[in-house]
């Protein structure tokens, strides 16, 4: 095959159209099916093949035989040509109007459905909090309810329990730890 490639190359360099036709016919299918179409698709494949051959003809005089066949050399040119085509196409692509692509996109204002979902989530969360508080010792549940659910100040909470503020902080910490343990159970 290398001897045949060398003869074809010499014939093409001398201007022999028959040698060029033979090489084109021999390589066309491979270049299209294995090199070009997988990169650019069928629509642009013939154009890329034409560009490949134009480049090959321009570079033919400078081609040095390095033990690889002409098919490999043409494949490299075709691969680069196909990648350049892809880059060119991607640079030229116009970014579509997102409103056209997605249609009517909600403007962020809550819908009736979103409000119903949020209300249902809140209801379930409140039920779970109440159930978890019910599992705690009453003193711990009361400390969490006063401080976190009612939002009372630490001093007020300590007064309700008849203890100092630092003692209430300890009570609240223990209550929160117990709540977290029960909350994280499956």
Final residue in a domain of this structure, among 42, 74, 92: 92
Query: 25 lies in a domain?
Result: yes
Contact (CB, 8 A) for 150 and 139: no
Query: Within a domain: residue 118?
Result: no
State residue 73's pLDDT score.
86
Determine, yes or no, domain membership for 106: no
Instruction: State the virtual CA torsion across 25, 29, 31, 37 in degrees, nearest 10.
Output: 140
String of DSSP letters for 125-172: HHHHHHHHHHHS-HHHHHHHIIIIIS---HHHHHHHHTS-HHHHHHHH
Q: Which pLDDT score is estimated for 145?
A: 92
Please tell me the predicted confidence (pLDDT) of residue 94.
60
Same domain membership, residue 145 and residue 75: no
CA pair distance 161, 65, nearest whole angstrom: 96
The confidence score (pLDDT) of residue 14 equals: 87
1 pLDDT more than 70: no
Q: Output the domain CATH number for residue 18.
A: 1.10.1740.10
- Whichever domain contains 145, its CATH number is 1.10.10.10
Per the domain annotation, does 98 fall within a domain? no
Q: Are residues 84 and 136 in the same domain?
A: no
Residue 114 lies in a domain: no
Inter-CA distances, 182 with 108, 138, 179, 185, Å: 36, 15, 5, 5
Residue 113: the pLDDT is 80
What residues contact 133, with CB distance under 8 A and at least 6 apart?
141, 144, 145, 179
Give the separation between CA 12 and CA 21, rounded to whole angstroms. 9
Q: Looking at the domain assignment, is residue 122 inside a domain?
A: no
CA distances from 163 to 100, 135, 156 (A): 65, 23, 10
pTM of the model: 0.48
Tell me what pLDDT residue 2 has: 63
pLDDT tens-digit map of 3-57? 788 888 888 888 888 988 998 899 899 988 888 888 888 888 899 999 999 998 8
Structure tokens at 70: 């002409």
For residue 107, is it within any domain?
no
Own/partner contacts of 91-98, CB < 8 Å, gap of 24 or more, are none
Q: State the residue range of the domain holding 70.
A: 2-92
Per-residue pLDDT of 80-130, as tens digits, reads 998 998 888 777 666 566 556 555 555 566 678 878 888 899 899 999 999
Query: Is 124 a domain residue?
Result: no
* Chain segment 148-180, per-residue pLDDT in tens: 889 999 999 999 999 999 999 999 999 999 999
Counted domains in the chain: 2
* Residue 132: band (very low, low, confident or very high) from pLDDT cuts 50, 70, 90: very high
């Amino acid at each position: 095959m290398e001897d045949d490639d060398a003869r074809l190359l010499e014939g093409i360099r001398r201007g022999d159209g028959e040698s060029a036709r033979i090489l084109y016919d021999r390589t066309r299918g491979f270049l299209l099916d294995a090199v070009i179409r997988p990169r650019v698709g069928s629509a642009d494949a013939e154009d890329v093949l034409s560009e490949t051959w134009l480049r090959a003809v321009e570079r033919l005089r400078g081609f040095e035989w390095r033990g690889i066949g002409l098919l490999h050399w043409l494949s490299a040119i075709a691969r680069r040509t196909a990648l350049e085509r892809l880059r060119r196409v991607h640079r030229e692509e116009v970014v579509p109007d997102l409103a056209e692509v997605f249609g009517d996109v909600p403007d962020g204002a809550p819908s009736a459905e979103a409000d119903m979902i949020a209300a249902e989530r809140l209801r379930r969360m409140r039920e779970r909090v109440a159930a978890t508080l019910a599992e705690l010792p009453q003193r711990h549940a009361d400390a969490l309810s006063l401080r976190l659910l009612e939002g009372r100040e630490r001093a007020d909470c300590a007064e309700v329990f008849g203890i100092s503020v630092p003692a209430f902080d300890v009570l609240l910490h223990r209550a929160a730890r117990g709540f977290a343990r029960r909350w994280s159970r499956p």
